[in-house]
């Protein structure tokens, strides 16, 4: 059986290149395999058959690059959802549009069983909550593309931490990555949520106001999304510091976990993972069981989209549980919004957010 996929939004992550990651001369002009379209293209049993965008020129270029027939290139997502019978729909639009497009898709005549939504899940926690609720009501799997979760190394590491307890009880984590919080740092925060399997209890934060996409990459817009960070106390008592203030050129995604049974250092940009087991009060360095080398952008990120599309097929066939559900993606978003609220109020913000605070939104792409 071949499953039918559609994409809403024909920009960078859909298949045409991303600012800061690909050659500026090729962005929007050539197909990029590390994308939703590339994931479908590299996965057996699923085919990208339709795309939609409000920009006719972008739609045409995408359709030509990815071989989508003209009659299945739709101006506006409503037309595609009305006319196509789809098993999965990718939502690859800017984050502030995710809510509208996920809700419309879940309630549409296209009736997909899976929605593969780009990260972050939304720009407002209240939007994320409605997206989750609508997908639950319509029996639609909401899969959020925090792509690290679709790499074998990180899945193995989570098993080592959560099931085999190589760190014992994690007590402290320090982490660092590039700005901006929604556009980039959501990857780091979701990785923390994923490895710790915990939710924030309260946060305190700082926002720099600096946006590299505006200041350095030539994007002619002003948005709220910026560098920032702070500290987070998780609901299991783990104390976490997050620094996402650095520009891309000098940043590395790094983590240091310290637990009652060992410590772990991860540098994903430079491909270095190190583990020390605590033995009679001394930290003894050992290889991570079942993991060769370390996570790298070149190897693991490139393969994450095919892995995610393969996971979509597994979900459609009922042989897997959702690895990146909306409810967990919302945990990352509430930390980011918590940083903004704490910065602007000068106080500490408790999680889950009070109802009125869930309406706070952060504009990004």
Cite the beta strand spans of the chain per DSSP E: 3-8, 46-53, 73-75, 88-91, 114-118, 141-145, 170-178, 200-207, 228-234, 239-246, 254-259, 262-267, 272-279, 282-286, 349-350
User: What's the confidence (pLDDT) of residue 11?
Assistant: 83
pLDDT per residue as tens digits for the range 153-212? 999 999 999 999 999 999 999 999 999 999 899 999 999 999 999 999 999 999 999 988
Predicted confidence band of residue 1 (pLDDT cuts 50, 70, 90): low
Contact call for residues 110 and 8 (beta carbons, < 8 A): no
The 10 Å Cβ neighbour count of residue 26 is 12
- On the question of pLDDT at 27 being above 70, the answer is no
Rounded mean pLDDT of 243-270? 95
User: What's the confidence (pLDDT) of residue 24?
Assistant: 55
Residue 246 to residue 224: CA distance in whole angstroms: 16
Residue 14 to residue 277: CA distance in whole angstroms: 42
User: What's the confidence (pLDDT) of residue 311?
Assistant: 98
Mean pLDDT of the chain: 92
Residue 123 to residue 104: CA distance in whole angstroms: 17
The structure's pTM equals: 0.93
User: What's the confidence (pLDDT) of residue 26?
Assistant: 57
Q: Peptide bond preceding 140: is omega within 30 degrees of 0, i.e. cis?
A: no
Kindly list the strands in the beta sheet with 282-286, ordered across the sheet, starting from the edge strand earlier in the chain. Answer: 282-286, 272-279, 262-267, 254-259, 170-178, 239-246, 228-234, 200-207, 349-350
Rounded mean pLDDT of 45-56? 97
Contact call for residues 226 and 243 (beta carbons, < 8 A): no
Predicted confidence band of residue 48 (pLDDT cuts 50, 70, 90): very high
Rg (CA), the chain: 20
> Which parts of 219-356 fold into alpha helices (H)?
302-316, 326-345
User: What's the confidence (pLDDT) of residue 31?
Assistant: 81
Residue 313 to residue 46: CA distance in whole angstroms: 7
Rounded mean pLDDT of 128-156? 97
Residue 299 to residue 51: CA distance in whole angstroms: 28
Predicted confidence band of residue 45 (pLDDT cuts 50, 70, 90): very high
Q: Write down all domains in the chain, each with its CATH number in brackets.
A: 3-148+302-316 (3.40.50.720), 152-294 (3.30.360.10)
The three-class DSSP label of residue 226 is coil
- On the question of pLDDT at 302 being above 60, the answer is yes
Residues 6+ apart with CB under 8 A from 353: 125, 334, 337, 338, 341, 360
Angle between helix 326-345 and helix 186-196 axes, rounded to 10 deg: 120
Contact call for residues 121 and 39 (beta carbons, < 8 A): no
């Amino acid at each position: 059986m071949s499953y039918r996929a559609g994409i809403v939004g024909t920009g960078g992550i859909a298949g045409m290149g991303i600012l800061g990651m690909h050659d500026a001369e090729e962005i929007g002009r050539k197909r990029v395999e590390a994308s939703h379209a590339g994931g479908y293209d590299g996965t057996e049993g699923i085919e990208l058959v339709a795309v939609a965008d409000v920009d006719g020129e972008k739609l045409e270029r995408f359709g030509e690059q990815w071989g989508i027939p003209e009659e299945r290139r739709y101006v506006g997502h409503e037309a595609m959802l009305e006319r196509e019978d789809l098993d999965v729909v990718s939502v690859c639009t800017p984050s502030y549009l995710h809510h509208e497009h996920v809700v419309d898709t879940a309630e549409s005549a296209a009736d997909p069983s899976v929605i593969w939504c780009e990260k972050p899940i939304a720009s407002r926690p209240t939007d994320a909550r409605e997206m989750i609720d609508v997908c639950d009501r319509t029996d639609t799997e909401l899969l959020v593309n925090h792509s690290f979760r679709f790499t074998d190394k990180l899945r193995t590491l989570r098993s080592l931490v959560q099931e085999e307890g190589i760190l014992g009880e994690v007590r402290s984590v320090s982490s660092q990555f590039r700005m901006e919080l929604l556009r980039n740092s959501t990857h780091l925060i979701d990785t923390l949520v994923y490895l710790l399997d915990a939710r924030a209890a309260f946060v305190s934060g700082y926002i720099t106001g600096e946006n590299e996409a505006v200041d350095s990459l030539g994007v002619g817009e002003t948005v709220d999304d910026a560098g920032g960070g702070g500290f987070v106390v998780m609901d299991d008592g783990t104390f976490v510091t997050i620094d996402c203030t650095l520009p891309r050129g000098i940043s590395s995604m790094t983590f240091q976990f310290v637990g009652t049974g060992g410590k772990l250092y991860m540098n994903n940009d430079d491909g270095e993972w190190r583990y020390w087991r605590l033995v009679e009060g001394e930290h003894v360095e050992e290889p991570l069981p079942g993991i060769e080398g370390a996570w790298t952008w070149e190897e693991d990120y490139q393969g994450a989209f095919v892995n995610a599309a393969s996971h979509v097929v597994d979900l459609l066939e009922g042989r897997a549980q959702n690895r990146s559900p909306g409810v967990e993606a919302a945990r990352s978003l509430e930390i980011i919004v918590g940083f903004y609220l704490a910065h602007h109020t000068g106080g500490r913000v408790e999680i889950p957010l009070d109802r009125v605070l869930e309406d706070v939104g952060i504009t990004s792409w």
